[in-house]
Chain A
Amino acid sequence: MSQTYSDFLRQYLTVAIFGGLGLAMAGLMLGVGRILRPVRPQEQKYITYESGVDPVGAGWNQSQIRYYVFALLFVLFDVEAVFIFPWATRLEAYDLFGLIEMGVFIVILALGLVYAWRKKVLRWV
Chain B
Amino acid sequence: MRTLGMLLAQSEGLLGAMTAGGSSAPAAGPVPTPSVEWWALLPALTLGVGALVLITLTSLLKGRLFRGFHALYTIVIAAAAMLAALPVWARVQGWPRLLWIDLDHSDGVGAFSALGGMIGVDGFGLFITVVIAATVAVTALFADHYLRREDLEGPEFYVLMLLSAFGGVVMAMANDLIVLFLGLETLSIAVYVLTAMHLRRAQSQEAGFKYFMLGAFSSAFFLYGIALLYGATGSTNFIEIKNFLAANVVVRDGLLLLGMAMLLVGLAFKVAAVPFHAWSPDAYDGAPTAAVVYMAAAVKAAAFGGIARVFVLTLSTQINDWRPLIYGLAVLSMLGGSLLAIVQSNVKRMLAYSSINHAGFMLVAVSAGTPLGVRAVLFYLAAYAFMVAGSFGVATLVGRRGDDRHWLADYRGLSHTNPLLALIFSILLLAQAGVPFTSGFFAKFSAITAAIDAGETWLAVVAMVTAVIAAFLYLRVVVAMYMAGGERGEERPSSTPVHVPRTAAVGLAICFGVTMAAGIAPSPLYDAAGRASLQLVEEPTPGLSAPVDLDASVGTVEPAPGP
Which A residues fall within an 8 A CB radius of B? 1-2, 4-5, 7-8, 11, 87, 90, 92-95, 97-98, 101-102, 105, 108, 111, 114-115, 117-119
Contacts and interface: CB of A to CB of B under 8 A. Distances in A.
A114 B21 contact: no
Contacts of A87: 20
A98 B22 CA distance: 9
Nearest to A87: B20
Contacts of A5: 252
Contact of B3 (A11, A94, A105): A11
Contacts of B52: 108, 111
A114 B2 contact: no
A101 B21 contact: yes
Interface string B176-202: 000000000000000000000000000
B534 to A, nearest CB: 30
Interface string B1-38: 11110000000000000011110000011110100000
Interface string B21-63: 1100000111101000000000000000000100110011010
B442 to A, nearest CB: 42
Contacts of A118: 59-60, 62
A86 to B, nearest CB: 9
A4 B2 contact: yes
A105 B19 CA distance: 9
B231 A95 contact: no
Contacts of A4: 1-2
Given A1-B252, A114-B56, A94 B62 contact: no
| Interface size range on B against A | 20 to 34
Interface of B: 1-4, 19-22, 28-31, 33, 52, 55-56, 59-60, 62, 231, 251-252
Given A93-B29, A95-B33, A98-B33, 14 more contacts: A1-B252, A8-B2, A93-B22, A93-B31, A97-B21, A97-B33, A98-B22, A101-B20, A102-B20, A111-B55, A111-B56, A114-B60, A115-B59, A117-B59
Main secondary structure of the interface of B (DSSP, over half): loop
Contacts of B59: 114-115, 117-119
19 contacts: A2-B251, A5-B252, A8-B231, A11-B4, A87-B20, A90-B31, A93-B29, A94-B20, A94-B33, A95-B31, A95-B33, A97-B20, A97-B21, A111-B52, A111-B56, A114-B59, A115-B55, A115-B56, A117-B59
A98 B55 CA distance: 26
A98 B252 CA distance: 41
Contacts of A119: 59
A5 B254 CA distance: 10
Contacts of B251: 1-2
A97 B34 CA distance: 9
Nearest to B48: A108
A97 B116 CA distance: 13
B23 to A, nearest CB: 10
Contact of A94 (B2, B21, B252): B21
A95 B30 contact: yes
A23 B319 CA distance: 44
Contacts of B31: 90, 93-95, 98
Nearest to B159: A115
A125 B3 CA distance: 54
A5 B29 CA distance: 37
Nearest to A105: B19
Contacts of A102: 20
Contacts of B55: 111, 115
B47 to A, nearest CB: 14
Contacts of A115: 55-56, 59
A69 B421 CA distance: 44
Nearest to B34: A97
A9 to B, nearest CB: 10
Contacts of A105: 19
B21 A98 contact: yes
